[in-house]
Amino acid sequence: MPMSSVTLYGIKNCDTVKKARKWLDDHSVPYTFHDFRVDGINKTLINDFLKQIDLETLINKRGTTWRKLSDAEKDIKNKTQVITLMIENPTIIKRPVLNVNKKISVGFSNEDYKSINFS
């Protein structure tokens, strides 16, 4: 039986990411952690996310990064603009982003993670 491919994207000091990592560890789910600050983020990765997640879900508008942006920066007119914004400000991406066998989900809750097929 092939192993599932699990990648958790986020920032290591983010509380929600910590909860997700603890959940995966507690449930013995092997995963790769991709830290946006350390490992970076690029257009291809963001486009992969956006194939399954809508823009409103992927952008964290409640975070300090979003609030610090100028009104001009928040006035997103197209996908290219938003991708550039995410590459320049990776903390604007809602975390964590979980990729299980190419199925993307955003955020963390016990219930959501329990419903994911990790095998």
- 76 vs 19: CA distance, rounded Å: 31
The phi and psi torsions of 100 (rounded to 5 degrees) equal -115, 110
Distance CA 10, CA 108 (A): 11
Q: Write down the catalytic residue from 8, 9, 10, 14.
A: 14
What is the side-by-side strand order in the sheet with 97-100? 32-35, 6-10, 97-100, 103-106
Per the annotation, the verdict on 14 as an active-site residue is yes
**Could you give the residue numbers annotated as active site?**
14
